[in-house]
Amino acid sequence: MLHEVLFSLWHCPGDLFKESEENDWVESISMQEFLHPGEKKLLQKILKISLNYHNIEKFRKSIDSLGQWGVAQMKDNICIIQADSYLIVFCNGLDNVLEDYRKEIIGLEEKFLENPHLTLTYVLATMEKYVMLFDMIKSMIRTITNEQIHGCLLMGRLHMYTISGIPQIVTAANKIIQSVNTMFYRHLANWIIYGDLMDANNEFFIRDCKCDDENFQFPEQIESVQNVDSHVSNIKKSRVRKPCTVRKFEIRPDMLPSILPLETAESILYMGRIVWIISNDPKRKDDVQKMKFRRDIWEGRSVEFYKKIEQLETQTFNLVNFERTIQVCKNTVTNYLWGVMVEEAELLEHLQIIRDYYALGRGELFQQFIVVAEEHLKQIPNYYIVKNLNTVFNETARKMYGENDKSYMKFELTMPNHLESKNYASNPMSNLEIYFDINWPLHIIFHPKVMSLYNRLFSFLLRLKKTHIDLHTLWLNHMEKKVKIDRGVWTLRHNLMFLVNNLQYYFQVDVIEAHFSLLKTAIKSATEFKDIIRMHSTFLSNLMSKTFVMCLDDNTGKDRGNNLYQLPSLNFERENIVYNIIVQLLELCNKFCLLASTWSGELSDLELNDLEDFQTQSDTITETLMRALFSLHEKVSGHHLLQLLHRLDFNRWYTKRKPDFNITIG
């Protein structure tokens, strides 16, 4: 009988102990009438151990026999589980843990052969230490089958068994988890070191979406991918090349192990995406046949870093050690990308180009362009007008700079098919946008959303510039006519020019030049790529808010240091009140210039009424602007607004006329 007991412990029931359909071995013992009640109890305890081992082995072998998806039957329940790589290595770990159990049975058999009079009590005493172990393994299996746990989720769910405090359980759990770790850290190392998931069964917590990231694409590129006819695409990208594509990878929250914080997971995603971008350098594709250019983000130490990650699989998971290793790899990756951006891609030169063109730093170029292109802008915007405007722009720049500076050739003017705001409808100049050829990998920083913000600033400043030119042109026309012009016309024109000149000076000098200078200085002292992104986001936030194009938003752009795609802290929904007031001022100036250019000599009653209406509107807009600026100054306490208020209230001219408006500056 003792041999039959050993066979059943080995999962080979014989004639004495039979397995029924319900797997109830205890009640299927033959010759029960010959057993002493004490022997029956001993056999029941031993066979419970045997039954647990049988169920564990049944689960393990069912996983080995399953394909991609299979059905494993556990008692009365049928559970559909995914037999992926992680479950297979989990079962391998189980097999290693159960090896001691099998050796124990072999040892019992050897002792039984030496001493045929061994008792059931001795067998139970020897095997009883596995009761707790099997309970732990059964708990693992129940969790896997009931909750459909698969992939790298196993790491988090199994980790709790390593902190039970029971040495036998901790040792066995570590053996099992180490098998799972092998698969996880190979996935992790391939992603971090090579930017390659190698995850055909979708077992990792990062997913390859197998498409381009729409955050780094212009709308017309997305439409082109979707096989939608996009006329804007032909307009915007007829000459400059499209930005390099960025593959879309994302975190799968449902597959993120519970022991891995989201911030750490985002950092891992961030690193792998950078490595993918560096590995897919378009220059390397051009030079691969010539073998002149080959990037190595790890500078010949890729094997060393790979082994650093591999070493973690032999240890019990420790978040501090894990994050320390990840941070070492991250520093190497971000430092390399910083060097590529600053030194090779010429980030500072690109910023200077943005300052010169998007922020109208080359005022002489755009002033001449506006004068020459005036006739083109009066026509209905269409594809041919855009081509003509680009011709005018290039010819103006070529005549002005000659062969010494060809940076203008990177740019192309465009015009959207539809007006995005009712404020743009009154002035075709505000419809113009400008795009330029961005060097790889600067398209990570200057992605389409950022470039749309720069274009909003460009359109606003260009419109302000045109209004400034129109007011001066009106003055010149009145001077050339050499006839007496009504004093009210001169006064209104002077007041409007005063406002426009001071706004233009504030935008160009106090905001744009000051912040560009700060940004360039900060980038020169930066050492990591994430510092560059953070500085640029801060710069763009300040630029857009202090020029009143957009409002700040404290909830946007925070805690995004591990995200490749970042937006400045701006409110994309709410309009800036000051911006709307300035737009009203510019519209008033345009209407006044258009009508006043037809006036000469003494004004008729109708013209005097128009002049009075213009003056009333001007006073209303000016007062609204001053009140809005002062209200904003009280909230923000910005020195830049203090300077602007000083200039607009020159010699306290405005506050003396409005005694009810208690404005104290200084």
| pLDDT tens digits for range 367-378 | 888 888 887 666
Q: Give yes or no for a contact between 626 and 645, defined as CB atoms under 8 angstroms apart.
A: yes
Q: Which residues contact 657 (CB under 8 A, 6 or more apart)?
A: none
Give the model confidence (pLDDT) of 3-23 as tens digits. Answer: 566 656 666 655 555 554 444
Residue for token pair 């039957």: 73
Stated pTM of the model: 0.82
Q: How far is CA 280 from the centre of its chain?
A: 19
Exposed/middle/buried for residue 593 (C-beta within 10 Å: 0-12, 13-18, 19+):
buried
- The SS3 call for residue 414 is strand
Q: Give yes or no for a contact between 367 and 421, defined as CB atoms under 8 angstroms apart.
A: no
pLDDT attached to residue 436: 85
Degrees (nearest 5) of the Cα angle 35, 37, 38?
105
User: Does residue 164 surpass a pLDDT of 90?
Assistant: no
d(CA 641, CA 637): 8
- CB atoms < 10 A from the CB of 272, how many? 23
d(CA 633, CA 345): 39
Longest Cα–Cα distance of the chain, Å, equals 135
pLDDT attached to residue 274: 92
The CA-atom distances, in angstroms, between 126 and each of 97, 119, 397 are 17, 11, 93
- The SS3 call for residue 660 is coil
Torsion of CA 371, 353, 540, 626, to 10 degrees: -30
Give the single-character DSSP code of 33. G
Exposed/middle/buried for residue 396 (C-beta within 10 Å: 0-12, 13-18, 19+):
buried
The CA-atom distances, in angstroms, between 183 and each of 163, 200, 444 are 22, 13, 32
Q: Which residues pair with 17 in a beta bridge?
A: 29
Degrees (nearest 5) of the Cα angle 488, 505, 414?
100
Amino acid at 571: N
Q: Give the pair of three-digit tokens for residue 392.
A: 């005018």
Host H or E run for residue 485 = none
Q: Which is more confidently placed, 562 or 347?
A: 347
d(CA 294, CA 496): 59
d(CA 656, CA 649): 9
pLDDT attached to residue 286: 53
- CB atoms < 10 A from the CB of 571, how many? 15
Handedness of CA 528, 531, 533, 535 (dihedral sign): negative
Residue length of the chain: 666
Q: Checking DSSP bridges between strand 247-251 and strand 551-552, what pairing results, if any? A: unpaired
Host H or E run for residue 59 = helix 37-65
Q: Give yes or no for a contact between 359 and 465, defined as CB atoms under 8 angstroms apart.
A: no
User: Which range, 104-113, 169-178, 416-425, 503-512, has the best average confidence (pLDDT)?
Assistant: 503-512
Among 410, 362, 500, 455, which residue's Cα sits nearest to residue 370? 362
- Residue ranges of E strands in 75-174: 77-82
Q: Which is more confidently placed, 244 or 426?
A: 244
User: Which range, 494-498, 604-608, 627-631, has the best average confidence (pLDDT)?
Assistant: 494-498
User: Does residue 244 surpass a pLDDT of 70?
Assistant: yes
What b/e sequence results for 278-287 when a residue is b if at least 16 CB atoms lie within 10 Å of its CB, and e otherwise? bebbeeeeee
For residues 584-595, average pLDDT:
89
d(CA 434, CA 454): 9
For residues 179-186, average pLDDT:
89
Torsion of CA 414, 415, 416, 421, to 10 degrees: 130
User: Does residue 172 surpass a pLDDT of 70?
Assistant: yes
Q: Which is more confidently placed, 504 or 566?
A: 504
Assign 329 a pLDDT band (cuts: 50, 70, 90).
very high
User: Which range, 24-28, 149-153, 544-548, has the best average confidence (pLDDT)?
Assistant: 544-548
User: Does residue 77 surpass a pLDDT of 50?
Assistant: no
Give the model confidence (pLDDT) of 78-132 as tens digits. Answer: 444 555 788 888 888 888 888 888 888 788 778 877 777 777 787 778 778 888 8
Exposed/middle/buried for residue 323 (C-beta within 10 Å: 0-12, 13-18, 19+):
middle
For residues 35-56, average pLDDT:
75
Among 408, 275, 287, which residue's Cα sits nearest to residue 333? 275
Q: Which residues contact 467 (CB under 8 A, 6 or more apart)?
A: 500, 586, 589, 590, 593
Q: Give yes or no for a contact between 85 and 201, defined as CB atoms under 8 angstroms apart.
A: yes
What does pLDDT average to over the chain?
79
Among 436, 440, 420, 242, which residue's Cα sits nearest to residue 358? 436
Assign 653 a pLDDT band (cuts: 50, 70, 90).
low
Q: Give the pair of three-digit tokens for residue 169.
A: 């359980």
- The SS3 call for residue 497 is helix
d(CA 524, CA 535): 11
Among 113, 107, 127, 116, which residue's Cα sits nearest to residue 51? 127
d(CA 225, CA 241): 16
